[in-house]
Chain A
């Protein structure tokens, strides 16, 4: 039995295999319409989510399976003080696979210690979000046709942005990837990511504060939202939330083939008039999320078309 807690739980070959399956699902959806018939996905969302939960549910429904679960900790026994481990042991009796989101870092790892069915980390606090990373990798692959030889700018909240941490870790395994980290000093990427991942693998990266200076060099601009829910202090959030706002004027300096990704939801960090620019691919990215989650559910349940 396999779980997916951190993107590095998957080898590069397995990621390639998931991307290939997702591409085939996009091309031939009918072939996959019944592969999970009789299977149930439990979505345990201890923290609110729109995209991730619905894309997991849509993924299972499109595979012919069914879903159950909760979308808010207040409607589960967690509100009565039940531990993650107890919740998961109970749910293991009712479902075949779990997708879990939790505000505390490491909660899905705690779930794997007691679960008898596969657990997918659907986001744990500011830590990891591996299925968003699979979504991002599928999107990059569909937009560029490859996952190597790219210069990627990550912009915004790089400290608490779990999508950033997972994607950086994943991309480090591909050849000739250059990273430009654009953030205010308070929201720089965490030390563990620099020491354990980037420095440990001798990766090429710089940390800068100006989005405008970095723009012409980029193949991909990965924008993030400054997340209010990650701050203990509201004053810090208010001070930092409007640091970077991408608008058509700033985008004018970018390469014509550059792509803008964003894990969504966006607040104001990308103005809506950027949406119609062909370089904006965050809604295509959101669509890809369902297909790669279908491929992942199939892999962990060991079912085939």
Chain B
């Protein structure tokens, strides 16, 4: 399968297989006029299978959203057809208006104009989780 290489834009590599549509949605890639390629189930020696997204424009990429979805994604920045840099990702400590609280008792359920704020915290099992800044409810995907 051939996908044209891009001249100026991004290649999002090492996306867990099946996650690319979620990224497409969160980054609102459907609103772009440039070429966007989603390549699913690519063979990978490290991951077995992975997804790749190619964006043929140097848009203002929301690294916070990407870090939230998967901090292990590799963001390759392409300029003049060459790899300019690999941008590191990390789990953001704070998410604003990326995800929304599902607790029906939370004030954000009745006052949707409030910023949906989530803070990153540690769980006892060592895993990390986002909790609503208003009501402390953990966000579960």
Contact = CB atoms under 8 A, between A and B. Distances in A.
Contact of A83 (B113, B122, B134): B113
Interface string A69-97: 00000000000000111000000000000
B124 A106 contact: no
Contact of B134 (A103, A110, A194, A195): A110
A104 B109 contact: yes
| Chain B CB within 10 Å, residue with most, of A106, A107, A110 | A106
A196 B107 contact: no
A102 B107 contact: yes
B93 interface: no
B107 A104 contact: yes
Nearest to B134: A106
A199 interface: yes
B114 A105 contact: no
Nearest to A193: B136
A105 B107 contact: yes
B99 to A, nearest CB: 15
B121 interface: yes
Interface residues of B, number: 24
Interface in A104-161: 104-107, 109-110, 113, 124-127
Contacts of A109: 107, 133-134
Interface string B79-111: 000000000000000000000000101111111
Contacts of B114: 85, 110, 113
Given A105-B103, A199-B124, A200-B124, A110 B111 contact: yes
Contacts of A113: 114-115
Contacts of B47: none
Contacts of A103: 105
Contact of B135 (A105, A191, A194, A196): A105
Contacts of A127: 105, 135-136
B122 to A, nearest CB: 7
A81 B125 CA distance: 42
B50 interface: no
Interface in A184-203: 191-192, 194-196, 199-200
B123 to A, nearest CB: 5
Given A83-B113, A105-B134, A110 B107 contact: yes
Nearest to A103: B105
B14 interface: no
A277 B136 CA distance: 38
A50 to B, nearest CB: 22
Contacts of B108: 106
Interface of A: 83-85, 102-107, 109-110, 113, 124-127, 191-192, 194-196, 199-200
Which 5 A-B pairs have CB atoms at the shortest separation, nearest pair first?
A106-B134, A199-B124, A105-B135, A104-B107, A106-B135
